[in-house]
Amino acid sequence: MDIKETINKKFKERFGEEGTLFASAGRINLIGEHTDYNGGFVFPGAIDKVIMAEIRPNGTDKVRVFSIDINDYAEFGLNEEDAPEQSWARYIFGVCREIIKRGGSVKGFDAVFAGNVPLGAGLSSSAALESCFAFALNDLFNGNAIDKFELARIGQSTEHNYCGVNCGIMDQFASVFGKKDHLMRLDCRSMEYEYFPFHPEGHKLVLVDSVVKHELADSPYNKRRASCERVAKRLGVETLRDATLEMLNAAKSDITAEDYLRAKFVIEEKQRVLDVCDALVAGDYETVGARMYETHHGLSKDYEVSCEELDFLNDIARECGVTGSRIMGGGFGGCTINLVKDELYDHFIAEAKARFNERYGHEPKIYDVIISDGARRVEK
């Protein structure tokens, strides 16, 4: 039974009639890491792993939701004081509240949802959940009057105000704006975006999840952000988006060695994103792959957010002739994203599983991904 049938069956069991199906996607980021808070570019795409929900207005002021994956039920009102206790339900409650705060309409509804976005692999399952419900409630109660950017911001505000996560906009943006066979270059300063074709014929895009997460005591993200801000101030620019390597090298004697390396990565990463855009337009996947390897090297050696396990997976990819490979996400664990020629795929996966298991005592998880559409209504 596929996810659609499972949801539909459960919805009928719990609520009687049928509702409308909606879905939104998890995401990958091909290149452009730690650039969002430096005013730079990110380059995400929605993937073929989704959160799907069947929803129907119920004529009351109560929301009744069942999560198939967690096998849990929540019921709550739509006022601020009605927040549910379950953490998963707070994502849905937060979306309702953020729409209402913006002057939109939300009334009581019944919903059943499930997903196949792997949890903990850095594919933004929470953004997919928020975007799915934001898109659905815009459709059902607001005649799709809320624009797509605002739907992404509703998801982001939900994280900030109801889930305690101070995230950027990329995950929600990718989940809402995703388009089959296209990646999106998002300018994190102006919020302008552009679609680029992604047809890696003869290649697969595969995530290798180390299933490792190193907890670090000294808030490494905040430290790196502070490094970038110090260098930007010294160079007289608002963010490192406006800095060049020439400017950085001219001021090298006034900057600590650590801050220099952090800024060097961010400035070089900005250019790598632009190089990948040009390469995709030209259908040049060898250059795309080369820039992915360069990003991994920079994240490992200059930004220092990799870890032994991810460097090991990157080395295996290189030895197996994989076109491109890099750490994906914030770092210190999680996945590598790999662009692999079809004929090398089986050998690479077998090698990665066997060698990683031999060294670390468990196999990595493998997720093939296809670049797909974002938030949408689903036909039954």
Position 130: which residue type? Answer: E
Together in a domain, 140 and 116: yes
pLDDT class of 118 with cuts at 50, 70, 90: confident
Residue 332 has a pLDDT of: 84
**Mean pLDDT confidence for 177-199:** 95
In this structure, the answer to whether residues 113 and 37 fall within a common structural domain is yes
The Cα–Cα gap between 42 and 270 comes to 9
Counted domains in the chain: 2
Is the entire prediction scored with pTM above 0.85?
A: yes
Whether residue 346 sits in one domain with residue 238: yes
Check which CATH number belongs to the domain holding 87 and give it.
3.30.230.10
- The answer to whether 126 and 162 have CB atoms below 8 angstroms apart is no
Judgement on whether residues 88 and 28 belong to the same structural domain of the protein: yes
Give the model confidence (pLDDT) of 292-324 as tens digits. 999 999 999 999 999 999 999 999 999 999 999
Q: Which CATH number covers residue 354?
A: 3.30.70.890
* Short-list 176, 166, 171, 170, CA closest to 191: 170
Of 235, 206, 305, 252, the residue nearest 39 (C-alpha): 235
Q: Is residue 177 domain-shared with residue 152, that is, in the same domain?
A: yes
The residues that bridge with 184 in the sheet, in sequence order, are 195
- 30 and 174 fall within a common domain: yes
Residues 183 and 307 in one domain: no
Active site residues: 171
- Give the Cα separation of 310 and 208 in Å (integer): 9
Q: How far is CA 105 from the centre of its chain?
A: 28
The residue count of the chain comes to 380
When mean pLDDT is compared across 111-125, 135-149, 289-303, the lowest value belongs to: 111-125
275 lies in the same domain as 322: yes
Taken in order 57, 61, 67, 68, the sign of the CA dihedral is negative
pLDDT tens per residue across span 342-377: 999 999 999 999 999 999 999 999 999 999 999 999
CB atoms near residue 4 (< 10 Å): 16
Q: Which residues pair with 114 in a beta bridge?
A: 52
Whether residues 151 and 261 share a domain: the answer is no
Query: Token digits for 147?
Result: 């624009």
Residue 120 confidence (pLDDT): 72
In this structure, the strands spanning 63-67 and 109-115 are: parallel
Listed in sequence order, the residues at least 6 apart from 80 whose beta carbon sits closer than 8 Å to its beta carbon are 97
> Can you tell me the distance from the alpha carbon of 66 to that of 110, in angstroms, rounded to the nearest whole number?
8
Does 130 lie in the same domain as 95? Answer: yes
Name the DSSP class of 179.
B
Range of the domain at 90: 3-198+372-378
User: How confident is the model over 205-218, as pLDDT tens digits?
Assistant: 999 999 988 766 56
pLDDT at residue 215 in the model: 67
Quote the CA–CA distance of 189 and 41 in Å, as a whole number. Answer: 8
Confidence of residue 331 (pLDDT cuts 50, 70, 90): confident
What is d(CA 95, CA 134) in angstroms, rounded to the nearest whole number?
6
Whether residues 264 and 343 fall in one domain: yes
Is residue 258 located within the same domain as residue 336? yes
Q: What is the pLDDT of residues 85-111, one digit of tens each?
A: 999 999 999 999 999 999 999 999 999
Do strands 20-29 and 376-378 pair parallel, antiparallel, or not at all (unpaired)? Answer: antiparallel
Confidence of residue 166 (pLDDT cuts 50, 70, 90): confident
